[in-house]
Amino acid sequence: MNPTIIEDSSMRLDRRDFLLAAGTTAAALALSSLPQLASAAETTQAAPYSLPPLPYADNALAPVLSSETLGYHYGKHHKSYVDNLNRLVQGTDWAGQSLEQIIQGTAGHADKAALFNNAAQIWNHNFYWNSLTPKGGGTPPAALKARIEESFGSVEACKQALAKAANTQFGSGWAWLVLDGKQLKVVSTSNAELPLTANLKPLLTIDVWEHAYYIDYRNRRADYSTALLDKLINWEFALQNLG
Protein backbone atom coordinates (compact mmCIF):
# COMPACT_ATOMS: atom_id res chain seq x y z
CA MET A 1 0.00 0.00 0.00
CA ASN A 2 1.43 3.34 -1.00
CA PRO A 3 1.59 6.12 1.59
CA THR A 4 -0.88 8.97 1.25
CA ILE A 5 0.84 12.22 0.39
CA ILE A 6 -0.34 15.35 2.17
CA GLU A 7 0.44 18.99 1.44
CA ASP A 8 3.97 20.42 1.91
CA SER A 9 5.70 17.09 1.37
CA SER A 10 3.96 15.59 4.45
CA MET A 11 2.74 12.00 4.30
CA ARG A 12 0.54 9.73 6.39
CA LEU A 13 1.47 6.07 6.66
CA ASP A 14 -0.39 3.12 8.11
CA ARG A 15 0.97 0.01 9.76
CA ARG A 16 0.85 -2.07 6.60
CA ASP A 17 3.52 0.22 5.15
CA PHE A 18 5.89 -0.74 7.90
CA LEU A 19 7.12 -4.25 8.43
CA LEU A 20 10.75 -3.80 9.44
CA ALA A 21 13.94 -2.52 7.92
CA ALA A 22 16.96 -4.73 8.41
CA GLY A 23 19.20 -3.49 11.13
CA THR A 24 18.81 -0.87 13.80
CA THR A 25 18.80 2.89 13.18
CA ALA A 26 20.68 5.42 15.19
CA ALA A 27 17.85 5.38 17.73
CA ALA A 28 19.87 2.65 19.40
CA LEU A 29 22.71 5.09 20.07
CA ALA A 30 24.02 4.75 23.59
CA LEU A 31 22.34 7.18 25.98
CA SER A 32 24.15 8.97 28.77
CA SER A 33 23.15 8.31 32.37
CA LEU A 34 20.47 10.22 34.23
CA PRO A 35 20.96 10.07 38.01
CA GLN A 36 17.58 11.63 38.77
CA LEU A 37 15.67 8.87 36.98
CA ALA A 38 18.06 5.94 37.26
CA SER A 39 15.77 4.08 39.64
CA ALA A 40 13.14 3.82 36.89
CA ALA A 41 15.54 1.78 34.78
CA GLU A 42 16.81 -0.37 37.62
CA THR A 43 13.46 -2.11 38.05
CA THR A 44 13.71 -3.77 34.63
CA GLN A 45 17.38 -4.79 34.52
CA ALA A 46 16.64 -8.46 35.18
CA ALA A 47 14.00 -8.56 32.43
CA PRO A 48 14.70 -8.90 28.68
CA TYR A 49 13.95 -5.23 28.05
CA SER A 50 14.98 -2.25 30.15
CA LEU A 51 14.26 1.46 30.23
CA PRO A 52 17.23 3.36 28.77
CA PRO A 53 18.36 6.40 30.74
CA LEU A 54 17.50 9.78 29.27
CA PRO A 55 20.34 11.62 27.50
CA TYR A 56 19.92 14.66 29.79
CA ALA A 57 18.67 15.62 33.24
CA ASP A 58 14.93 15.60 33.84
CA ASN A 59 14.87 19.42 34.08
CA ALA A 60 17.20 20.06 31.13
CA LEU A 61 14.40 20.75 28.62
CA ALA A 62 12.65 23.35 30.79
CA PRO A 63 10.89 25.67 30.28
CA VAL A 64 9.76 24.11 26.98
CA LEU A 65 9.12 20.75 28.68
CA SER A 66 8.98 20.69 32.46
CA SER A 67 10.55 18.13 34.74
CA GLU A 68 6.99 17.15 35.70
CA THR A 69 6.22 16.31 32.06
CA LEU A 70 9.39 14.22 31.75
CA GLY A 71 8.66 12.55 35.07
CA TYR A 72 5.28 11.33 33.84
CA HIS A 73 6.14 10.82 30.18
CA TYR A 74 9.42 8.99 30.70
CA GLY A 75 9.03 7.66 34.23
CA LYS A 76 5.41 6.48 33.83
CA HIS A 77 4.35 6.11 30.19
CA HIS A 78 7.65 5.01 28.63
CA LYS A 79 8.38 2.72 31.58
CA SER A 80 4.92 1.15 31.34
CA TYR A 81 5.62 0.04 27.76
CA VAL A 82 8.82 -1.65 28.94
CA ASP A 83 7.07 -3.34 31.85
CA ASN A 84 4.16 -4.44 29.65
CA LEU A 85 6.45 -5.92 27.00
CA ASN A 86 8.41 -7.85 29.61
CA ARG A 87 5.16 -9.37 30.90
CA LEU A 88 3.90 -10.16 27.41
CA VAL A 89 7.04 -11.99 26.28
CA GLN A 90 7.58 -13.95 29.48
CA GLY A 91 7.65 -17.65 28.70
CA THR A 92 7.24 -17.11 24.95
CA ASP A 93 9.50 -17.37 21.92
CA TRP A 94 9.53 -13.54 21.75
CA ALA A 95 11.60 -13.25 24.93
CA GLY A 96 15.11 -12.09 24.10
CA GLN A 97 14.30 -10.96 20.58
CA SER A 98 15.16 -7.38 19.67
CA LEU A 99 12.51 -4.69 19.53
CA GLU A 100 12.93 -4.64 15.76
CA GLN A 101 12.35 -8.40 15.50
CA ILE A 102 9.19 -8.15 17.57
CA ILE A 103 7.94 -5.24 15.48
CA GLN A 104 8.67 -7.18 12.30
CA GLY A 105 6.93 -10.29 13.49
CA THR A 106 3.81 -8.62 14.87
CA ALA A 107 3.06 -5.66 12.58
CA GLY A 108 -0.33 -6.00 10.92
CA HIS A 109 -1.39 -9.00 13.05
CA ALA A 110 -4.44 -8.11 15.12
CA ASP A 111 -3.87 -11.01 17.50
CA LYS A 112 -0.40 -9.65 18.29
CA ALA A 113 -1.40 -6.00 18.63
CA ALA A 114 -0.32 -5.74 22.27
CA LEU A 115 3.17 -7.00 21.46
CA PHE A 116 3.47 -4.64 18.51
CA ASN A 117 2.16 -1.61 20.35
CA ASN A 118 4.43 -1.96 23.35
CA ALA A 119 7.58 -2.84 21.40
CA ALA A 120 6.98 -0.05 18.89
CA GLN A 121 6.25 2.50 21.61
CA ILE A 122 9.51 1.65 23.38
CA TRP A 123 11.36 2.15 20.09
CA ASN A 124 9.50 5.37 19.30
CA HIS A 125 10.19 6.87 22.71
CA ASN A 126 13.87 5.91 22.63
CA PHE A 127 14.04 7.78 19.32
CA TYR A 128 11.99 10.76 20.54
CA TRP A 129 14.18 11.51 23.57
CA ASN A 130 17.21 11.66 21.30
CA SER A 131 15.34 13.89 18.85
CA LEU A 132 15.36 16.59 21.55
CA THR A 133 18.29 18.34 23.18
CA PRO A 134 18.78 21.29 25.51
CA LYS A 135 19.54 24.45 23.52
CA GLY A 136 18.40 22.72 20.34
CA GLY A 137 16.66 24.22 17.35
CA GLY A 138 18.44 26.94 15.47
CA THR A 139 20.26 26.30 12.22
CA PRO A 140 20.94 22.66 11.27
CA PRO A 141 24.53 21.55 10.58
CA ALA A 142 25.68 22.54 7.09
CA ALA A 143 25.43 19.05 5.59
CA LEU A 144 21.87 18.55 6.86
CA LYS A 145 20.87 22.11 5.98
CA ALA A 146 21.90 21.51 2.38
CA ARG A 147 19.82 18.34 2.16
CA ILE A 148 16.83 20.07 3.75
CA GLU A 149 17.05 22.91 1.25
CA GLU A 150 17.24 20.44 -1.64
CA SER A 151 14.05 18.70 -0.48
CA PHE A 152 11.97 21.51 1.03
CA GLY A 153 13.47 24.69 -0.38
CA SER A 154 14.39 26.05 3.06
CA VAL A 155 14.80 25.04 6.68
CA GLU A 156 11.71 27.08 7.53
CA ALA A 157 9.64 25.14 4.99
CA CYS A 158 10.84 21.87 6.55
CA LYS A 159 9.87 23.08 10.02
CA GLN A 160 6.47 24.15 8.72
CA ALA A 161 5.93 20.69 7.20
CA LEU A 162 6.88 19.03 10.49
CA ALA A 163 4.60 21.36 12.45
CA LYS A 164 1.72 20.70 10.07
CA ALA A 165 2.20 16.92 10.32
CA ALA A 166 2.29 17.16 14.11
CA ASN A 167 -0.68 19.50 14.42
CA THR A 168 -2.96 17.76 11.91
CA GLN A 169 -2.35 14.19 13.07
CA PHE A 170 -5.80 13.12 14.26
CA GLY A 171 -5.60 11.66 17.72
CA SER A 172 -2.39 10.15 19.05
CA GLY A 173 0.67 9.64 16.90
CA TRP A 174 4.00 10.90 15.66
CA ALA A 175 5.47 13.33 13.11
CA TRP A 176 8.72 12.24 11.48
CA LEU A 177 11.47 13.63 9.31
CA VAL A 178 12.59 10.73 7.13
CA LEU A 179 14.94 9.94 4.28
CA ASP A 180 13.20 8.43 1.25
CA GLY A 181 15.89 7.44 -1.18
CA LYS A 182 17.81 10.69 -1.62
CA GLN A 183 14.96 12.99 -0.64
CA LEU A 184 13.93 14.15 2.80
CA LYS A 185 10.22 14.00 3.55
CA VAL A 186 7.84 14.51 6.45
CA VAL A 187 5.44 11.74 7.42
CA SER A 188 3.00 11.17 10.25
CA THR A 189 1.97 7.89 11.85
CA SER A 190 -0.85 7.07 14.23
CA ASN A 191 -0.68 5.46 17.65
CA ALA A 192 2.40 3.20 17.84
CA GLU A 193 3.10 3.00 14.12
CA LEU A 194 6.59 3.88 12.91
CA PRO A 195 8.51 4.32 9.65
CA LEU A 196 11.19 1.65 9.90
CA THR A 197 10.69 0.29 6.42
CA ALA A 198 9.35 1.11 2.98
CA ASN A 199 12.84 2.51 2.39
CA LEU A 200 12.04 5.36 4.79
CA LYS A 201 14.82 6.07 7.26
CA PRO A 202 13.77 7.97 10.39
CA LEU A 203 15.88 11.05 11.15
CA LEU A 204 13.92 12.61 14.02
CA THR A 205 10.42 12.58 15.49
CA ILE A 206 7.88 14.63 17.45
CA ASP A 207 5.56 12.78 19.83
CA VAL A 208 2.01 14.11 19.58
CA TRP A 209 0.33 11.84 22.09
CA GLU A 210 -1.41 14.08 24.62
CA HIS A 211 0.77 12.88 27.50
CA ALA A 212 3.77 14.42 25.69
CA TYR A 213 2.50 17.97 26.16
CA TYR A 214 -0.73 18.23 28.16
CA ILE A 215 0.81 19.13 31.53
CA ASP A 216 2.66 22.10 30.03
CA TYR A 217 0.42 23.09 27.11
CA ARG A 218 -3.02 21.63 27.83
CA ASN A 219 -4.75 21.40 24.43
CA ARG A 220 -2.33 23.75 22.65
CA ARG A 221 -0.54 21.13 20.56
CA ALA A 222 0.56 23.73 18.01
CA ASP A 223 2.40 25.72 20.69
CA TYR A 224 4.14 22.53 21.82
CA SER A 225 5.30 21.52 18.35
CA THR A 226 6.47 25.05 17.54
CA ALA A 227 8.43 25.28 20.79
CA LEU A 228 10.13 21.93 20.14
CA LEU A 229 11.10 22.91 16.62
CA ASP A 230 12.40 26.32 17.66
CA LYS A 231 14.20 25.40 20.88
CA LEU A 232 14.71 21.66 21.37
CA ILE A 233 14.85 19.80 18.07
CA ASN A 234 18.12 17.91 17.75
CA TRP A 235 19.42 18.55 14.25
CA GLU A 236 22.72 16.85 15.13
CA PHE A 237 20.84 13.62 15.85
CA ALA A 238 19.09 13.90 12.49
CA LEU A 239 22.44 14.36 10.77
CA GLN A 240 23.84 11.27 12.52
CA ASN A 241 20.86 9.26 11.28
CA LEU A 242 21.24 10.68 7.80
CA GLY A 243 24.70 9.08 7.67
Condensed to tens digits (0 to 9), the pLDDT of residues 71-95 reads 999 999 999 999 999 999 999 999 9
The Cβ of residue 123 has, within 10 Å, a number of other Cβ atoms equal to 24
> Domain containing 147 — which CATH number?
3.55.40.20
Condensed to tens digits (0 to 9), the pLDDT of residues 201-231 reads 999 999 999 999 999 999 999 999 999 999 9
Residue 114 domain flag? yes
Three-state secondary structure string covering 157-224:
HHHHHHHHHHHHCCCCEEEEEEEECCEEEEEEEECCCCCCCCCEEEEEEEECCHHHCHHHHCCCHHHH
Does 111 belong to an annotated binding site? Answer: no
Residue 40 domain flag? no
Does 78 belong to an annotated binding site? Answer: no
User: Which helix (H) or strand (E) is 91 found in, with range?
Assistant: none
- Domain boundaries, position 202: 1-22+59-243
Residue 29 domain flag? no
Residue 50 domain flag? no
Helices 235-242 & 142-152 angle (0-180, nearest 10): 80
Helices 113-131 & 99-106 angle (0-180, nearest 10): 130
Residue 38 domain flag? no
**pLDDT band, very low/low/confident/very high, at 28 (cuts 50, 70, 90):** very low
Residue 35 domain flag? no
Does 73 belong to an annotated binding site? Answer: yes
Q: How many domains does the chain have?
A: 1
Judge whether 125 and 84 are in contact, CB under 8 Å. no
What are residue 242's phi and psi, to 5 degrees? Answer: -65, -35
